[in-house]
């Protein structure tokens, strides 16, 4: 990649076939994917319920993918130990869901997982400014969390740009992840704005084969760098 920056595509498990999750994980690995984005919903923080630690534990047994675990859960500090034990590599909690965000992130780090924080579309970046040095990743939600297949909220692009500037100014190495309504049409703009990790659910799983879809996403991301001459 011309800029030397690695772009990661993280397919969202929410759009995978839940009847054959193990096979889906294997297919992703065979297709060259490195990450799986695991959406955990509690029916309280978001109006939907998905999967919990036992499923993560089961998938872990047969997968070498990087388990990027997005906890859309109220008071996530109650569950970070369980997800770390189940095999999550990264645990992402919502800033809106926990009062003691710094403590929760420090706990995730102590457990040997990578700490990350997600921000709902309306939540200001100021929530995480002072945490940046200790965060592996910040997740910019570009839809209101709870469901796959929603439309990208346009102001998220400006938010990514501002976060990129904030991270650079802090001299931090924090990754920027974007989740919600990510498609081949907007992927170049997202990377151009500063995104490192692109989550894609419906726009990925509905268009097999996975290796070709993965290649297409990455090609579009890389092409934008080439146009910029970087
Ligand atoms: C939404 C979830 C997303 C979702 C993305 O609440 O956090 O990860 O699965 O799905 P798409 O890519 O279809 O918007
Ligand atoms: Zn998600």
Question: Is residue 3 in some structural domain?
Answer: no
What pLDDT is attached to residue 222? 81
Question: Is residue 223 in some structural domain?
Answer: yes
Nearest Cα neighbor of 168 from 2, 5, 8, 35 is 5
| DSSP letter assigned to residue 201 | S
Predicted model pTM = 0.96
Question: Is residue 214 in some structural domain?
Answer: yes
Single out the catalytic residue among 39, 42, 68, 196: 39
Q: Atom 10 (ligand 1): residue with closest C-alpha?
A: 148
Q: Is the pLDDT of residue 224 over 60?
A: no
Single out the catalytic residue among 42, 68, 179, 196: 179
Q: Is the pLDDT of residue 1 over 60?
A: no
Question: Does residue 89 have an active-site annotation?
Answer: no
Question: Is residue 114 in some structural domain?
Answer: yes
Residue 194: domain span: 8-229
Query: Which CATH number goes with the domain that contains 65?
Result: 3.20.20.70
Distances (CA, A) of 204 to 8, 53, 181, 215, 229: 13, 24, 11, 11, 28
Question: Is residue 2 in some structural domain?
Answer: no
Question: Is residue 20 in some structural domain?
Answer: yes
Question: What average pLDDT score do residues 61-82 get?
Answer: 98
Q: Which of 148, 177, 197, 203 to mutate to test the pocket of ligand 1 (most atoms within 8 A of CB)?
A: 148
Give the range among 24-28, 207-211, 226-230 with minimum mean pLDDT: 226-230
Question: Is residue 155 in some structural domain?
Answer: yes
State the total domains in the chain. 1
């Amino acid at each position: 990649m011309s800029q030397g920056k690695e772009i990661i595509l993280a397919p969202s498990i929410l759009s995978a076939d839940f009847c054959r999750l193990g096979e889906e994980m294997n297919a992703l690995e065979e297709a060259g994917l490195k990450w799986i984005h695991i959406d955990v919903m509690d029916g309280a923080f978001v109006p939907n319920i998905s999967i919990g630690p036992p499923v993560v534990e089961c998938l872990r047994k047969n997968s070498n993918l990087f388990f990027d675990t997005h906890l859309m859960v109220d008071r996530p500090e109650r569950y970070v130990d369980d997800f770390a034990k189940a095999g999550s590599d990264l645990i992402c909690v919502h800033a809106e869901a926990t009062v003691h965000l710094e403590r929760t992130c420090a706990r995730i780090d102590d457990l040997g997982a990578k700490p990350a924080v997600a921000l709902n579309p309306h939540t200001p970046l100021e929530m995480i400014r002072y945490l940046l040095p200790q965060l592996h990743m910040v997740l910019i939600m570009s839809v209101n969390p709870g469901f796959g297949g929603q439309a990208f909220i346009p102001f998220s692009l400006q938010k990514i740009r501002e976060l990129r500037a904030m991270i650079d100014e802090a001299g931090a190495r924090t990754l920027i992840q974007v989740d919600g309504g990510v498609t081949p049409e907007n992927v170049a703009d997202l990377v151009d704005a500063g995104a490192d990790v692109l989550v894609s659910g419906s726009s990925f799983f509905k268009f097999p084969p996975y290796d070709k879809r993965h290649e297409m996403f990455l090609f579009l991301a890389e092409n934008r760098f080439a146009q910029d001459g970087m």
